[in-house]
Amino acid sequence: MTNPDIEKWRALAEKEVKRDPDNLVWETPEGIPVKPLYTADDLQGIGHLDSLPGLKPFVRGPRATMYTGRPWTIRQYAGFSTAEASNAFYRKALAAGQQGVSVAFDLATHRGYDSDHPRVVGDVGKAGVAIDSVEDMKILFDGIPLGDISVSMTMNGAVIPILASFIVAGEEQGVSRDKLSGTIQNDILKEFMVRNTYIYPPEPSMRIVADIIEYTAKEMPKFNSISISGYHMQEAGATLVQELAFTLADGREYVRAALKKGLNVDEFAGRLSFFFAIGMNFFMEAAKLRAARLLWTRIMEEFEPKKPSSLMLRTHCQTSGVSLQEQDPYNNVIRTAYEALSAALGGTQSLHTNALDEAIALPTEFSARIARNTQLILQHETGVTKVVDPLAGSYYVESLTNELAEKAWALMEEVEAMGGMTKAVNDGLPKRLIEEAATRKQAAIDRGDEVIVGVNKYRLENEDDLDILDIDNAAVRNAQIARIEKVRRQRDPKRWEETLNALREVARSGEGNILEAAVEAARARATLGEISDALREAFGDHAAVPKVVSKVYGAAYEGEPEYKTLVGRLDELATTMGERPKILVAKLGQDGHDRGAKIIASAFGDIGFDVVAGPLFQTPDEAADLAVESKVHVVGMSSLAAGHKTLAPQLVDALKSRGATDVIVVVGGVVPRQDYQYLLDKGVAAVFGPGTNVLDAARAVLDLMEGKRRNA
């Protein structure tokens, strides 16, 4: 388009919108200005435009033919209470067109606890499958030929006992470890940033990562030793630039750790994989995957590999969980379909599509079928697999790809200047930036600046109940305990003790490979908790100190009458009480997803509450002790992983037993509407489900406090 033509367009656009078209520019949360018109002029100076798929720098895809030769792998992430229930689900899904198994573990398993541990009473079988030993792993894959089906396992904290048990289960199925294919996540740096299912401190955790890369490089040539994950960063509130930069910086750190083990880069680089979230910014998400491949090639060239495949970024993607909404939940089918299309246009190698009810609970068979069929329809009915990288050459997409790459690279350089990602994580930089971004986004949603259909606009007057999957936590735990006891009765105690002692020595001395020693312990039927405890004895536990960002949520409301009124009302209550209203934001159980809790703590602090941010992984008794010690007026329990029906009543009872009956208990997070009355009957004063406006929650808490004072 010539410059005179652009001026003609500008005049026409100005006439149509009655204002300067420059004012139509949209600035994304990443700080990228998006114009209403892109032309060839926007592609000047972009270096990757002549690249081809399968060739460096792989912007257009890691394989020459991409989906025209073979579509992406449909890999649905799932785990249901017991190994038996999960196995039945996997077998049905494989028969219906799923092409690989992707395992979701419960939170007790993630944190390295056996199901009989007292800290995990409310977590067993919730949000995934409980795995305590090789016997559970064998049941999980019963009738699933591990020599033919690839298995992805999302596991980081307890990665050693889980991978060891998988290897032994394969052997006992008749499949040697060199024939096993799949991926273990093994991405511990991301856990310290956002997801928090860590066990050990960062330094020994990085040794575990390196030992797994070393072992699999030598023993498991078909198995991906690490899936470097940005998914949980975006779910925690990261911008796409942050997700891209921190994920690739993590990858660079893992490569360095493997090289320190004496490995040649070409021995393991081809088995590294990535994992990205795909949210609702359709074109930018596709551009993000293209930019990721461009930047990873640049990073890997630093290590001078000889194989071209060592420069390739291969990735799994999952549609966004945080974009799913409890309100008008059938809209989630539409959201997931658009996100899946974006992932396909961006060139993912495998994909999980979320089910419509996953904003509330684990998916039912009905919702899981819709999610899986979303991908089948994309592959077979839309024609997107017929052309490699159909967005290539788009003025807009190529410009976005370049913008994302430049901004992400600048952030990666900042991390490098700090001494690398381990140092940056220890200093708290990524966590702080992500939490600030999450708080800004929540404020934009609450203000209505960011529209979510059915939540803050076009909301239904009445919501229909949705059939959801409810797990009987107590029944699952009892069954798991019975199996653990059987394993302990039947194993050889001498061999069991010898293998665990050998594992402790490898961990303490720094000599030998931790995974290799753990495989021997798993063969001797050491449980997941026992293997984890052996490493705890050598490495210690990691405990994060909660920090809360401030003046981010409130800044978004500066000058707003509604916000000023609420702040004034709180000030009046504080004057009447003679102290600031004080709230403990508590995370109970083993759920480390703390995005919601951090946003509430930050926003309530800006509004004027005195906020106590409780540590992760508390028991109800520990939370009650902290509430009494801190003399709070309210405890806000944040729930995400379906433990609320067990943990909230225990918290209420724990406060009563300490004489703190005047403390108000509220629950917020992923709580199905069907559970509200149950919680209210158990003494919870209010429930704030998904999509609750933070200011509405603050008003409700003030109402409760004022009502209690009037009735005192």
Q: pLDDT per residue over 684-703, tens digit each? A: 999 998 889 999 999 999 99
Instruction: Indicate whether 260 pLDDT > 60.
Output: yes
What integer pLDDT is reported at residue 576 of this predicted model? Answer: 92
What integer pLDDT is reported at residue 670 of this predicted model? Answer: 86
> If you average pLDDT over residues 92-98, what whole number do you get?
84
> If you average pLDDT over residues 459-474, what whole number do you get?
77
Q: The pTM is what? A: 0.91
Known catalytic residues are 77, 231-232, 587, 591, 593
Instruction: Indicate whether 603 pLDDT > 60.
Output: yes
What integer pLDDT is reported at residue 2 of this predicted model? Answer: 62
- The mean pLDDT value of the chain amounts to 92
What integer pLDDT is reported at residue 76 of this predicted model? Answer: 73
What integer pLDDT is reported at residue 362 of this predicted model? Answer: 75
**Per-residue pLDDT tens digits for 195-234:** 899 999 999 999 999 999 999 999 999 999 999 999 999 9
What integer pLDDT is reported at residue 469 of this predicted model? Answer: 66
What integer pLDDT is reported at residue 668 of this predicted model? Answer: 93
> If you average pLDDT over residues 519-548, what whole number do you get?
94
Please give the share of the chain, as a percent, with pLDDT higher than 90.
79
Dihedral sign (CA 349, 353, 358, 361)? negative
**How much is the CA Rg of the chain, to the nearest whole Å?**
26
> If you average pLDDT over residues 510-522, what whole number do you get?
97
| Strand partners of residue 315 | 274
**Per-residue pLDDT tens digits for 425-455:** 988 899 999 999 999 999 999 999 999 999 9
SS3 content of the chain, % helix, strand, coil (to 5): 55, 10, 35
Evaluate the omega torsion of the peptide bond into residue 204 and state whether it is cis, within 30 degrees of 0. no
Residue 264 tokens read as 């040649």
| Residues present in the chain in total | 712
What integer pLDDT is reported at residue 15 of this predicted model? Answer: 81
**Per-residue pLDDT tens digits for 136-175:** 999 999 999 999 999 989 999 999 999 999 999 999 999 9
Neighbours of 454 (CB within 10 A): 18
Phi first, then psi: give them for residue 489, nearest 5 degrees: -70, -35
b/e sequence 186-221, b meaning 16+ C-beta within 10 Å: bbbbbbbbbbbbbbbebebbbbbbbbbbbbbbebbe
What integer pLDDT is reported at residue 641 of this predicted model? Answer: 62
What integer pLDDT is reported at residue 547 of this predicted model? Answer: 84
Strands (E), 212-280: 223-224, 226-229, 272-278
**Per-residue pLDDT tens digits for 333-388:** 999 999 999 999 999 999 999 999 888 777 888 898 999 999 999 999 999 999 99
Rounded Cα gap, residues 377 and 375, in angstroms: 5
> If you average pLDDT over residues 516-524, what whole number do you get?
98
What integer pLDDT is reported at residue 4 of this predicted model? Answer: 79
Instruction: Indicate whether 509 pLDDT > 70.
Output: yes
For residue 593, name the pLDDT band (cuts at 50, 70, 90): confident
**Per-residue pLDDT tens digits for 628-681:** 999 999 999 998 766 788 899 999 999 999 999 999 999 998 888 888 999 999
What integer pLDDT is reported at residue 99 of this predicted model? Answer: 77
Return the minimum-mean-pLDDT range out of 99-103, 295-299, 387-391, 566-570: 99-103
| Run of H or E residues at 414 | helix 395-418
For residue 712, name the pLDDT band (cuts at 50, 70, 90): low
> If you average pLDDT over residues 185-194, what whole number do you get?
93
Please give the share of the chain, as a percent, with pLDDT higher than 70.
98
For residue 135, name the pLDDT band (cuts at 50, 70, 90): very high
What integer pLDDT is reported at residue 122 of this predicted model? Answer: 85
